[in-house]
Amino acid sequence: MTTAVANASTGGNGALTAVAASARQVVKAYGVGETRVVALDRVDVDIARGAFTAIMGPSGSGKSTLMHCLAGLDTVTEGHISIGEHEITRLKDKKLTQLRRDRIGFIFQAFNLLPTLNAYENITLPMDIAGRKPDRAWVEQVIGTVGLADRLTHRPNQLSGGQQQGAPPSGSWGRVAVARALAARPEIIFGDEPTGNLDSRAGAELLGFLRRSVDELGQTIVMVTHDPVAAAYADRVLYLADGRLVDEMHRPTAEQVLDRMRRFVGDASHAQQPHTPESHAPGHGYPPRSVDDPRSVSGPYSPDDPHIAAPGHHGTSGRAS
Ligand SMILES: Nc1ncnc2c1ncn2[C@@H]1O[C@H](COP(=O)(O)OP(=O)(O)OP(=O)(O)O)[C@@H](O)[C@H]1O
């Protein structure tokens, strides 16, 4: 099952690089003069192909800005961004839009599903808009991976058994959003707090699907998150502070991520607590309970759920490495 995305990522000229995206000396500044804010301050990073990368850091550290610049959703003030072999900082708007459409997938917090379309139509919508014919075999494989095969004709509201309009999206919405991002076989998928709107169980499920798409389909994923439990699903966690990359970890447990985030709290210049399972729970002070606690943000791992990755490797309780 590892060939599909790898084949897709060879792109038009057949070149396949080990680096799916890169930033070189990237500066992003907003405003001028006294109101100038430097959101990214000479960031150098390579995003490995076929890996799951999480971006963490205190609020305002530049996580979303880095993701938006890497994804070509925002321009850089200085420096260079490449997606595969294409330097996108030199592309004109039309070419950039085309590259984003053809090579990049997105999963936003709100999922942006259309309630009038059924699951299958939502999944193939970006390709329909681009005038591309879906690769049926691939789309079916993706649909099987996220467990939607028997619910393709359901609309998003029906997927969760009569979910009310305005209610937070259910796990099924997350499944459709993941399938939609994967369906066009993008070289890279960017997620901006994709579990931010989900309850703990649905969040764990979505993260499990992302993990599977990397392990089984060879997908490349970059995810911004505040949640140490979510970051523990990643192969690599990048830490930003004041617009700079200040640290990274490989295959960390949720506890290790949380410990690293606490060190930002200790720094007077980052006087904000990291987002933790407890930071929004009344009556729970710092330090938080263990991320193994079933009440933690992504809930308990269910060994019976075939869609969720095994915890010994990438589970909600971190890795048993
Ligand atoms: N459009 C904008 N105009 C002006 N300043 C901005 C703009 N977007 C971001 N910033 C500033 O850039 C810095 C980095 O913001 P960014 O949203 O990337 O941080 P973040 O780490 O994603 O924060 P959070 O965790 O709160 O989402 C912050 O100081 C922010 O106020």
Atom of ligand 1 nearest to the CA of 31: 4
CA–CA distances in Å: residue 60 to residues 43, 166, 241 = 15, 28, 8
Kindly state if the Cβ of 63 falls inside 6 Å of ligand 1: yes
CA atoms within 13 A on the CB side of 21: 30
Whether residue 260 lies inside any domain: the answer is yes
Q: Which single residue is written with the structure tokens 């980052």?
A: 270
Ligand 1 centre to CA of 224 (Å) is: 13
By alpha-carbon position, which residue is closest to atom 12 of ligand 1? 39
CB 113 within 8 A of CB 173: yes
Tokens of 174: 């997350």
Domain of 123, CATH number, reads: 3.40.50.300
pLDDT tens column, 116-140: 889 899 999 888 888 888 888 889 9
- Please list, in sequence order, all residues whose beta carbon lies within 8 angstroms of the beta carbon of residue 313, skipping any fewer than 6 positions away: 319, 320
> Of 11-20, 172-181, 219-228, 275-284, which gets the smallest average pLDDT?
275-284
Domain that holds residue 169: 3-314
> Sorting pLDDT into bands at 50, 70 and 90, what band is 267?
low
Q: What is the mean pLDDT of residues 271-291?
A: 37
Ligand 1 centre to CA of 184 (Å) is: 30
The average confidence (pLDDT) of the chain is 77
Round to whole Å and give the CA distance between 41 and 162.
47
- What's the burial of 302, exposed, middle or buried (CB within 10 Å: 0-12/13-18/19+)? middle
Kindly state if the Cβ of 77 falls inside 6 Å of ligand 1: no
Pocket of ligand 1, candidates 63, 75, 242: which has the most ligand atoms within 8 Å of its Cβ, to mutate? 63
Whether residue 67 lies inside any domain: the answer is yes
pTM of the model: 0.78
Kindly state if the Cβ of 64 falls inside 6 Å of ligand 1: yes
Which residues are paired to 30 by β-bridges?
A: 37
By alpha-carbon position, which residue is closest to atom 6 of ligand 1? 30
pLDDT tens column, 158-190: 655 444 444 444 567 788 888 898 888 899 999
Residue 1 has pLDDT above 70, yes or no: no
Is the complex ipTM more than 0.85?
A: yes
Give the pLDDT confidence score for residue 160 in this predicted structure.
55
Round to whole Å and give the CA distance between 2 and 291.
31
Residue 286 has pLDDT above 70, yes or no: no
Whether residue 319 lies inside any domain: the answer is no
Whether residue 164 lies inside any domain: the answer is yes
Whether residue 284 lies inside any domain: the answer is yes
Q: How many domains does the chain have?
A: 1
CA atoms within 13 A on the CB side of 160: 18
By alpha-carbon position, which residue is closest to atom 16 of ligand 1? 62
Kindly state if the Cβ of 147 falls inside 6 Å of ligand 1: no
Round to whole Å and give the CA distance between 275 and 122.
31
Whether residue 320 lies inside any domain: the answer is no
Residue 319 has pLDDT above 70, yes or no: no
Whether residue 321 lies inside any domain: the answer is no
Whether residue 220 lies inside any domain: the answer is yes
Ligand 1 centre to CA of 93 (Å) is: 23
